[in-house]
Structures are given as C-alpha cells and as structure tokens.
C-alpha cells in the first residue's frame, strides 16, 4: 500500500460526501465542449484557497493548478470537463435537463454521458487531499482541468495557449477514464490503450435536376451511396486481418424533396485505428475511393474534404506503466487487471506528445458490480449502457472512491515512492 493511501484513508472517508454533492451538481449542470465556463469556475474557486497557483481560461476555459511542495518530480494529473450534445435518459434524480446551443446555433440537450463529471470530481478531490497532506509527499503537482475533449480541441488549445512556456514541464503525465466495468476495479496496460480517431466530412458535387429527367443530372445521391458501400471494402479487402480498423459512415445527407435530384451530397465518416501506418493507409484510401467514385459518376469537380476531429493514438510508456502497475497491485490486489485496447479515442496524449514526456492512461470501472457480474455470466456485457449512451450512469459508490485511490496511487508512485520518507 502506497504511503499516500495509508496517510489519507481517513481523509478520503471524510471527503466523499462533499465530493458526491459536487459530482451530482456537475452532472445536473453539464456544459458543451469549449463552453465549460461554470465548471471551470467551480474548479478554480475550489482549488485556489488550497494554496495552488491557479491559471484560468487556459485554452479558452481550461484551468491549470500548480502546487509546489519542495524538491522532487513534477507530476501532471488531467481531467476533462465537457459534456455531450445529447439528452439524458437515466431517470436519475440528479439527471440533466439542460439544453444549450451548439456551435452551429442548434438547440441540443446536454448530458455528461461520458463521465467527465466524475473525472473532474476525482481531480478536485485529489487536489484537496494533496494540499492537506503535504507532509506525505514532495515535488510539484500540476492539476489540469481540460476543455473540449469531445471535439478533440481542448488539449491542443491549451498547448497552443503556451502551456509549455507558462507551466513546469512534467516528468510524467497521468490520466484516467470511467468506463463500463465492475466498479472498484482498475484496468491498465502497456502500449496502445486507445485507438486513433479521425472524423471527416466529404462533400460530393453533382448536377441537380427534376426527378423525371435523370438524364440531365449527375446524381450525387447515387454517387454518395456507391461511395458509402465502396468505403466498407477498405477494411474488409485492403487491411490485413492481423490489423484492426473501423470505418463508419454515420451520416449521408442530400436533397430536400423526393422529385428533386440535388446538386450535392455530404458524407460524415469516422475511422478508428490502432497503428499509425494503418491510419495513414485508411485516410489515403478514403480519399482515393471518394475521388474515384466521383470520377466514375462524371462529377463536375473533385470532392471536398474537411477534417471534423482528429485524435492521436494513446500509447502508454512501458516503464511508466510498470511503475504504475506496481502501485496499483500493491493497493488494489486482484482488483487491477490488464485491459484490452479500446476502440475509443482521447486527446489526452497530445500533452505527452507535445512536451515529449512519458504518459499513462487507465480505466476505472463504473458499473454496479452485481450488474456487471450477471452480465458477464449471461454474455450480455454489450447490453450495459456504455459511454455516450443516454442511459450511461456510473454508480457513485464505489466508483468515486476507487478513482480517488487510483489517482493517489499513481501520483504517489512518483511524488511519494515506497522508499521515500513519510
């Protein structure tokens, strides 16, 4: 058991009721990506009186809190703050009923259906525990509350706002995510843990006409349909079975009326890959097929490509993982397990890549343990509402405690190692 956990067990017990109240408040008041004004203010107002040097509005709404506590490593802990543009359907007494306008001016429901409210609560709790137990560790703690993870812009916006110049360079960067899994467990792995994610919008150009005179048109609906089908052959016929990739066309938008052939059609697609070479090949193949289908249809011009979002691979540093795993096993025992790579994506690794420092990311289970056990036995785990489902709702107990303990274990592996004096 790490020095920090031993020192803070009683403090965690005392802190949990207050953190639960914070979590429920954040859950009821979600904010869209890059609009996290209320959340950021709550965070900054909470940590500043604890003795942290607090910088607000970093990368639009980001908060960076630095606590210097003598000579030692600098550890960065990160939590993302934004919610999703969707209505919540959990039925919880503290469910969100919030709506807001997205960047296109469209009124949408807003919900913390990915668990970022739990992430923020965890890091707020860690900030308090570390500030109130400075005798148990040494070094510098940097707590980063990041905007815009859901649109892959938050980490980049913070780095572009001068993080590398304005704040201490970390020796290690650590982060965690609540996921489907038995609450009370922690999953980690060395190497790739999250896929790269690329979302594109492809506009295909045709020539509009009356539905009764197709010969006078260049039909972009047929063009888009053919392109959609052909894109599926990239994974099935061009990617080795030993590799892994997913390509989803999530939207095909064209036309307004049944007897009007429109001028253009738009595809929105998403790609997930676990290897940089496979990623490059997939993106190149998408362009090749879209252009070829347009040429085959005698389109008046080449398609127009727009990148909607781009997430890099999340690849845990091997030495960092080994140190982290030792700390987890010492505290959690059999409740820590090796997870498989997830086809989800994160912009967390942008910080490590930009600073060129090692990082590690892991999962904390958020499903009621009995529910998860029965689902495993019945081979129905896929039916548990997962992240981004309108019914996704981590159980507060023991998820809240487990996330605090996991982050303390991780921070303590650098700031209060076993051979350090308490």
Catalytic residue among 80, 88, 347, 368: 80
Query: Could you tell me if 392 and 115 are in contact, meaning their C-beta atoms sit under 8 angstroms apart?
Result: yes
CA-CA distance, 118 to 183, in Å (whole number)?
13
| Catalytic residue check, 356 | no
Catalytic residue among 150, 171, 368, 405: 150
What are the distances in angstroms from CA 273 to CA 96, 233, 239, 303?
33, 15, 11, 24
DSSP state of 170: P
114 is in an annotated binding site: yes
What are the distances in angstroms from CA 320 to CA 35, 350, 372?
33, 17, 30
For the chain, the 3-state helix, strand and coil shares in percent, each to the nearest 5, are 40, 25, 30
Pick from 308, 303, 364: nearest CA to 118: 364
Give the 3-state secondary structure of residue 160.
helix
CA-CA distance, 65 to 349, in Å (whole number)?
19
Which residue, chain included where needed, has tokens 């939207």?
251
| Catalytic residue check, 80 | yes
Phi, psi torsion values for 204, nearest 5 degrees? -105, 135
Q: List all residues 6 or more positions away from 168 whose beta carbon is below 8 Å from its beta carbon.
A: 66, 74, 140, 142
B/e letters for 189-215, b = 16+ CB within 10 Å, e = fewer, are bbeebbbbbbbbebbbbbbebeeeeee
State the Cα angle at 25 between 43 and 347, rounded to 5°: 55
Phi, psi torsion values for 420, nearest 5 degrees? -85, 150
B/e letters for 12-44, b = 16+ CB within 10 Å, e = fewer, are beebbeebeebbbebbbbbbbbbbbeebbebbb
CA-CA distance, 177 to 157, in Å (whole number)?
21
133 is in an annotated binding site: no
116 is in an annotated binding site: yes
Locate the DSSP E strands across 117-171.
139-146
Query: Could you tell me if 267 and 201 are in contact, meaning their C-beta atoms sit under 8 angstroms apart?
Result: yes
Q: List all residues 6 or more positions away from 376 whose beta carbon is below 8 Å from its beta carbon.
A: none
Binding residues for Mn(2+): 114, 116, 150, 177
Binding residues: 114, 116, 150, 177
The set of catalytic residues is: 80, 150
């Amino acid at each position: 058991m790490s020095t920090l956990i031993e020192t803070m067990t009683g403090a965690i017990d005392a802190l949990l009721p207050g953190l639960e109240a914070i979590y429920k408040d954040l859950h009821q008041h979600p904010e869209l990506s890059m609009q996290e004004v209320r959340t950021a203010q709550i965070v900054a107002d909470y940590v500043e009186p604890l003795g942290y040097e607090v910088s607000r509005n970093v990368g639009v709404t980001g908060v960076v809190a630095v606590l210097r506590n003598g000579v030692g490593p600098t550890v960065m802990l990160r939590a993302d703050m934004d919610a999703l543009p969707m209505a919540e359907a959990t039925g919880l007494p503290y469910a969100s009923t919030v709506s807001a306008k997205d960047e296109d001016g469209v009124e949408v429901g807003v919900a913390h259906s990915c668990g970022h409210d739990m992430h923020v609560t965890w890091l707020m709790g860690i900030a308090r525990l570390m500030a109130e137990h400075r005798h148990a560790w040494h070094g510098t703690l940097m707590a980063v509350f990041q905007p815009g993870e859901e649109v892959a812009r938050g980490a980049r916006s913070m780095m572009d706002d001068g993080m590398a110049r304005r704040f201490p360079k970390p020796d290690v960067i650590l982060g965690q995510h609540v996921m489907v899994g038995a609450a009370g467990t922690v999953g980690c792995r060395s190497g790739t843990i999250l896929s790269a994610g690329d979302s594109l919008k492809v506009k295909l150009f045709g020539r509009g006409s009356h539905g009764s005179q197709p010969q006078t048109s260049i039909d972009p609906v047929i063009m888009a349909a053919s392109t959609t089908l052909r894109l599926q052959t990239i994974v099935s016929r061009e990617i080795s079975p030993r590799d892994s990739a997913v390509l989803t066309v999530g939207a095909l938008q064209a036309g307004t009326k049944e007897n009007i052939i429109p001028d253009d059609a738009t595809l929105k697609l998403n790609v997930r890959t676990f290897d940089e070479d496979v990623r490059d090949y997939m993106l190149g193949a998408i362009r090749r097929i879209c252009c070829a289908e347009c040429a085959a249809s005698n389109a008046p011009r080449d398609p127009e490509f727009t990148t909607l979002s781009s997430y890099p691979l999340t690849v845990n540093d091997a030495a960092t993982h080994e140190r982290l795993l030792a700390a987890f096993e010492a505290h959690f025992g059999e409740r820590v397990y090796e997870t498989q790579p997830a086809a989800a994506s994160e912009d967390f690794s942008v910080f490590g890549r930009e600073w060129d420092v090692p990082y590690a990311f892991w999962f904390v289970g958020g499903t009621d343990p009995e529910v998860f056990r029965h689902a495993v036995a019945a081979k129905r785990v896929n039916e548990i509402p997962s992240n981004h489902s309108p019914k996704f709702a981590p159980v507060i107990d023991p998820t809240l405690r487990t996330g605090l303990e996991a982050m303390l274990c991780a921070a303590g592996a650098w700031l209060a190692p076993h051979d350090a004096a308490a």
